[in-house]
Chains A and B, each alone.
Chain A
């Protein structure tokens, strides 16, 4: 696995828009972004409406994921290229999700929507329904997903990487500052976690920093290569971005994303918290 296997540039996307066997998928938190204009031919996935279980707090089960991808016309053999807003946070979450269900060839467009827009590249408002497929997912690969008990047990023994902003880590604020600061959970972070904000891995235009810069970043911040790793944020999307960096770009082993993240951990009764 190397950068070229998992990342494509905006230039590459523009040159390969009409190529058969590739499905471009926009994944957004703000689903109206797609409706206002998207990359020609791209399929839309709404992070909340499409990718979350409508009742329980969880992602879709296997059969629901199969039904979703089949209805969007995504086949098992397609190359899926994901991109989205928020510096690709939700596209990275979808990448991790596609990997959980064993999709063979999935990539991120480096820089996401932001880079595409800042470059002034064309956007289309046309809908592009694709013929339905019969998608078959694998059983979930839980080697890349961490659950709460494992996180509590990891205190002091694994790399716990808190990728939220320093003010969320310290408990000054409870959510990224584009959201109202009214949350029920306690503020702070998991003891022994190191704070390496996701944003340190990205350039201002949303593209990832170079492999050399990334390797240096985690080394400097106390990341121990001999330990297993769990990344977390507030709801698991920014930590998917960091999971992508650690696991897919830097090739580190035994990295998990804790998608329960602070919304779950900060609500647990009796667990230790630091501020």
Chain B
């Protein structure tokens, strides 16, 4: 794992012609949620990765083309979103109701 990447920020250095990037932010009550746990689940709902959102509520995963579920767990509650990802940049927002 060698240094968990910082969440959010610029895409500099990421090859979007080969990487399938799934990124976005977590929101609750009209504001981004910092420090939320966000996990990426595969088509069978199995855990693939988990990150903690940046101070701006951002997360980023490097996946593969296909259907994924992004689930957020924070002190304020849970939210989830299904996304069909393709090679390149795939953006989504997870709202915690």
| Interface of A toward B, CB cutoff 8 Å | 29-30, 33, 47-48, 85-87, 89, 114, 117-120, 165-167, 172-173, 175-182, 197, 199, 204-205, 234-235, 237
Contact = CB atoms under 8 A, between A and B. Distances in A.
A114 B35 CA distance: 10
Interface string B53-88: 000000011111010000001110000000000000
Contacts of A199: 46-47
Contacts of A30: 3-4
Contacts of B63: 173, 177, 181
Contacts of B66: 172
B4 to A, nearest CB: 4
Interface stretch (B24-32, B36-44, B89-97): B36-44
Given A114-B37, A166-B44, A176-B49, A86 B64 contact: no
Contacts of B48: 165, 167, 173, 176-177
B50 A179 contact: no
Interface in B1-31: 1-5, 14-15, 18-20, 22
Indicate the member of B15, B46, B60, B74 with the most A CB atoms within 10 Å: B46
B37 A29 contact: no
Interface of B: 1-5, 14-15, 18-20, 22, 35, 37, 40, 42, 44, 46-52, 60-64, 66, 73-75
Contacts of B46: 165-166, 197, 199
18 contacts: A29-B1, A29-B3, A33-B52, A87-B50, A120-B75, A166-B42, A166-B46, A172-B64, A175-B62, A177-B48, A177-B63, A178-B5, A178-B40, A180-B14, A181-B18, A181-B64, A197-B47, A234-B1
A102 B16 CA distance: 47
Given A166-B46, A167-B42, A167-B48, A179 B5 contact: yes
Contacts of B62: 175, 177-181
Given A48-B2, A180-B62, 10 more contacts: A85-B4, A86-B50, A89-B1, A114-B37, A165-B47, A176-B48, A177-B49, A178-B62, A180-B14, A181-B19
Contacts of A119: 75
B10 to A, nearest CB: 14
